[in-house]
């Protein structure tokens, strides 16, 4: 084919780039235990997720919703320097009850399978950031359409317990393809890299470390936790090493001297994409 190149379609309108340090740790806490939620806010987690879904028994759903509403109405959680609070909702009643409260940062939407569900929530709760959770084979097939469904979507993630059951997967390696799928979908929709789903054994910190390494190798960034003791392991697993930081600083320094593609003294080829990746590494290093 000759002549003018075929123009590429415009990229989807994603959320604005994150400001400050990228989140790495997301701590789930049950919504019907406000004393545990209060402790979680001081745990050092980057984001606290109040769970009104799986972590709460059916007969305590209303209490969990009212306790969460009280928390999110408190000026402490609404302060500019407060820990971001996400709520994993159980249904539309939760969304309508909590959407306008000042301490709410985002809704996490379980068991999303189609983009139309995201549009519905965005209409019910305008202006609230949304994080759809993909927990079934059908959701994985629709990953990009969900990720790009609405400008309110700020990220996507897997719900691996339900996904394992749906796929009949027992070994961790069986989730490599769905994890890669959501990484690609998030990037294509101009969203941040997805965080890994929770590691269910809170005592097996070595297993958590190994699993985080696998997720990081697939392009995931950060991880959800269900106990504060998991937070330091996740933080350390996803923070860049000294060697990675040094290499990134060298790339950024070289790009400041010479624009466009260039070769480093050791023969490595550097272009704009490599420089952007190096800048992300340095941003993560700044967390320390």
> In the beta sheet, which residues pair with residue 48?
27, 85
Best CA proximity match to 179, nearest among 194, 168, 167: 194
Nearest-angstrom CA–CA distance, 226 and 23? 16
**3-class DSSP state for residue 276?**
helix
Asked if 132 and 156 touch (Cβ cutoff 8 Å), the reply is yes
Asked if 63 and 32 touch (Cβ cutoff 8 Å), the reply is yes
pLDDT at 19 over 50: no
Structure tokens at 34: 């406000």
Question: Which string of DSSP letters, residue by residue, matches 104-134?
Answer: --EEEETT--SHHHHHHHHHHSTT-EEEEEE
In the 8-state DSSP scheme, what is residue 230?
A: G
- Residue 100 Cα distances to 82, 96, 197, 226, angstroms: 17, 8, 28, 27
For residue range 64-73, what is the model confidence (pLDDT) as tens digits? 999 999 999 9
Nearest-angstrom CA–CA distance, 254 and 264? 8
In the 8-state DSSP scheme, what is residue 45?
A: -
CB neighbours of residue 159 within 10 Å: 24
pLDDT at 248: 80
Residue at token pair 């084979």: 137
User: What dotted CATH number matches 25-238?
Assistant: 3.20.20.60
pLDDT at 144: 98
Residues in the chain: 288
Asked if 172 and 166 touch (Cβ cutoff 8 Å), the reply is no
pLDDT at 110: 97
Best CA proximity match to 117, nearest among 104, 131, 97: 131
CB neighbours of residue 123 within 10 Å: 10
Share of the chain above pLDDT 90, in %: 71
pLDDT at 11 over 50: no
More confident residue, 239 or 6: 239
Q: Where are the domains of the chain?
A: 25-238, 242-285
pLDDT at 18: 45
- Give the distance, in angstroms, between the CA of residue 155 and the centroid of all CA atoms in the same chain: 6
For residue range 152-177, what is the model confidence (pLDDT) as tens digits? 999 999 999 999 999 999 888 899 99
Asked if 150 and 119 touch (Cβ cutoff 8 Å), the reply is yes
Nearest-angstrom CA–CA distance, 26 and 229? 12
- What is the mean pLDDT of the segment spanning 195-202? 96
pLDDT at 2: 46
Question: Which string of DSSP letters, residue by residue, matches 174-213?
Answer: GGHHHHHHHHHHHHHTT-PPPPBPPPS-TT-HHHHHHHHH
pLDDT at 93: 96
- Residue 188 Cα distances to 10, 59, 120, angstroms: 11, 41, 22
- What is the mean pLDDT of the segment spanning 220-245? 94
- What is the mean pLDDT of the segment spanning 272-282? 80
Nearest-angstrom CA–CA distance, 236 and 126? 36
């Amino acid at each position: 084919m000759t002549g003018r190149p075929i123009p590429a379609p415009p990229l989807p309108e994603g959320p604005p780039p994150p400001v400050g340090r990228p989140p790495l740790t997301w701590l789930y806490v049950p919504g019907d235990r406000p004393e545990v939620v209060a402790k979680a806010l001081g745990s050092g987690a980057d984001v606290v997720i109040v769970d009104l879904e799986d972590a709460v028994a059916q007969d305590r759903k209303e209490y969990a919703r009212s306790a969460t509403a009280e928390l999110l109405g408190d000026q402490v959680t609404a302060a500019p320097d407060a820990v971001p609070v996400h709520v994993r909702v159980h249904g539309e009643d939760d969304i309508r009850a909590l959407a306008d409260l000042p301490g709410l940062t985002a809704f996490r939407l379980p068991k999303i399978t189609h983009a139309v569900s995201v549009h519905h929530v965005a209409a019910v709760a305008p202006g609230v950031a949304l994080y759809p959770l993909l927990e079934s084979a059908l959701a994985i097939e629709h990953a990009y359409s969900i990720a790009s469904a609405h400008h309110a979507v700020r990220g996507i993630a897997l719900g691996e317990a339900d996904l394992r059951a749906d796929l009949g997967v027992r070994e961790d390696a069986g989730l490599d393809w769905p994890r890669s799928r959501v990484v690609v979908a998030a990037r294509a929709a101009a969203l941040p890299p997805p965080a890994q789903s929770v590691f269910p054994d809170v005592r097996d910190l070595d297993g958590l470390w190994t699993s985080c390494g696998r997720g990081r190798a697939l392009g995931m960034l950060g991880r959800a936790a269900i106990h504060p003791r998991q937070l330091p392991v996740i933080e350390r697993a996803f923070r860049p090493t000294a060697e990675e930081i040094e290499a990134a600083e060298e790339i950024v320094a070289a790009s400041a001297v010479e624009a466009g593609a260039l070769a480093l003294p050791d023969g490595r080829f550097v272009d704009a994409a490599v420089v952007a990746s190096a800048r992300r590494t340095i941003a993560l290093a700044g967390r320390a």
